[in-house]
Structure 1
Amino acid sequence: MSAAPQLPVSTGLSLADRAYEGIRDRLVMLDIRPGEPLNDDALAQELGTGRTPVREALKRLEGDRLVVAYPRRGTFATAVDITDLAHISEIRVELEPLAAARAARNATEADRAHLAVLARDTAHLQARVTDRRELLRRDVQVHREVYRAAGNPHLEDILVRQDNLATRIWCLFLDRIPAIAGHVEEHVGLLEAIVDGDEQKAARLALEHVVGFERAVRAVL
């Protein structure tokens, strides 16, 4: 089986931003394992950005709670602490519905066309995609597109950070949680509600999705 594709990379970024996104997504998907040291030189060579952008990215990632730096020891991927689940969910149950409703209200025509295509691509995943990590990447992609369509960069920034932390928890239990495809396919109704401009339905479905995520994780603890 060929390797699953990486998360989409934004275009038109500076070298520091490219390094940040590249390392961030490796941390989110646990390609860099919790507790693993991060080597500046190796990352710079892998990403083709140079050491300075990598170091700038690592400083930003420390603020995202994805890495931790220790004097004279280096920088390491943070541990995935399941006790953080309640704190993350507390934020997401309030802000995910807000972002979904804003997206339904504020998305541009171009946004709606893009989200309509994403909805069609997300439908019937169970019959087309068997790689669980690819399914999870698609889940992350949908969330990020909804946050972007909401049109509030501050809200987007908060939710991307919280979704990143939630995804790391999901990755930790990925082989134990059933029906991953069904969880991702829930986004079809959400995306369609946003495209249709139905704020209440979009908010309700976003809330149900977040609550379902926490329930699924707790069921395997």
Structure 2
Amino acid sequence: MQNVATEPRGEELSLAERAYRAIRDRLVMLEIRPGAPINEDQLAQALGVGRTPVREALKRLQYERLIATYPRRGTFATDVNITDLAHISEVRQELEPLAAAQAARRATAADRATLTAVRRELEIVDPRRQDATELMHLDLSVHRAIYAATHNPYLEDTLVRHDNLATRIWCLFIDRLSDMAGHVAEHGPLIDAIVSGDPDQAAQLARSHVEGFERAIRGAI
């Protein structure tokens, strides 16, 4: 399994885009801890790029609420605030079903192949052997593949941002969640509905998934 969940893209990525995706996923997975200072030089060295791509990436990440810059203090990873859960879920409960339905309608052969490959990974999930980090990366991969299959860049960007924020909350409570593997495995029927071109079923399953996520987090608090 890949260590970093990435959106399925075929084109050559720019250095700034590579830096953005790498730093974003470190923030999402809390590898860069909430409240931790962001050091441009260290990130540039770790990623093997110059400071300019890192600086461009950080501008995007600030807009996405993953980092914050304070005058005379510097730049920091944003805190994970559980009070944001209701706001994030409110957006996702409306847009996740829409994305699933549109993916079912619009998925190309390449999209279906990507989703089918992720579906195979879901089938071999073993909660006794797979650690939480691997499961989280797989969850991100599923969501991002679905969003890409909508072929609506505005919807995709919006949902990637909100899924990232939801995943940070999930990571914060990961030790208290008893059935992470089951939550991730729920994506199997959703992928099947998209690949088979059933928008109504896909929308219904997506809505149930988001509602189940919020219940699980609230139960863990």
- Tell me if both proteins adopt one fold, taking TM over 0.5 as the criterion: yes
Deviates more, 1:81-90 or 1:9-18: 9-18
Partner of 1:201: 201
Structure 1 residue 4, shift from structure 2 partner: 7.9
Cα RMSD of the aligned pairs, angstroms, is 1.6
Q: Distance in 1 between matches of 2:102 and 2:61?
A: 27
1:128–1:115: structure 2 CA closer, same or farther, 3 Å change rule?
farther
Q: Distance in 2 between matches of 1:109 and 1:128?
A: 34
Partner of 1:102: 102
TM-score by length of 1: 0.95
1:4–1:102: structure 2 CA closer, same or farther, 3 Å change rule?
closer
Matched, 1:215 2:211: no
Q: Do the aligned residues in 2 keep the contact of 1:4 with 1:131 (CA within 8 Å)?
A: no
Q: Partner amino acid for 1:81? A: N
Q: Do the aligned residues in 2 keep the contact of 1:129 with 1:135 (CA within 8 Å)?
A: no
Matched, 1:15 2:15: yes
Aligned pairs, how many?
Answer: 219
Q: Do the aligned residues in 1 keep the contact of 2:118 with 2:141 (CA within 8 Å)?
A: no
Q: Partner amino acid for 1:62? A: Q
Q: Deviations over 1:104-126 (max 9, x none)?
A: 00001121122122112212412
Name stretches of at least 5 consecutive residues in structure 2 with no aligned partner.
none
Q: Do the aligned residues in 1 keep the contact of 2:30 with 2:171 (CA within 8 Å)?
A: yes
Identity percentage of aligned residues:
62
Task: Report the secondary structure of 1:37's partner residue.
Answer: coil
Q: Distance in 2 between matches of 1:114 and 1:7?
A: 13
Structure 1 residue 128, shift from structure 2 partner: 7.1
Q: Distance in 2 between matches of 1:118 and 1:201?
A: 19
Q: Distance in 2 between matches of 1:44 and 1:36?
A: 16
Q: Distance in 1 between matches of 2:28 and 2:127?
A: 26
Matched, 1:158 2:158: yes
Structure 1 residue 129, shift from structure 2 partner: 4.2
Q: Do the aligned residues in 2 keep the contact of 1:97 with 1:202 (CA within 8 Å)?
A: yes
1:199–1:29: structure 2 CA closer, same or farther, 3 Å change rule?
same
Q: Distance in 2 between matches of 1:65 and 1:217?
A: 20
Q: Distance in 2 between matches of 1:114 and 1:29?
A: 23
Name stretches of at least 5 consecutive residues in structure 1 with no aligned partner.
none
Partner of 1:5: 3
1:114–1:7: structure 2 CA closer, same or farther, 3 Å change rule?
closer
Deviates more, 1:119-128 or 1:94-103: 119-128
TM-score by length of 2: 0.95
Q: Distance in 2 between matches of 1:83 and 1:200?
A: 31
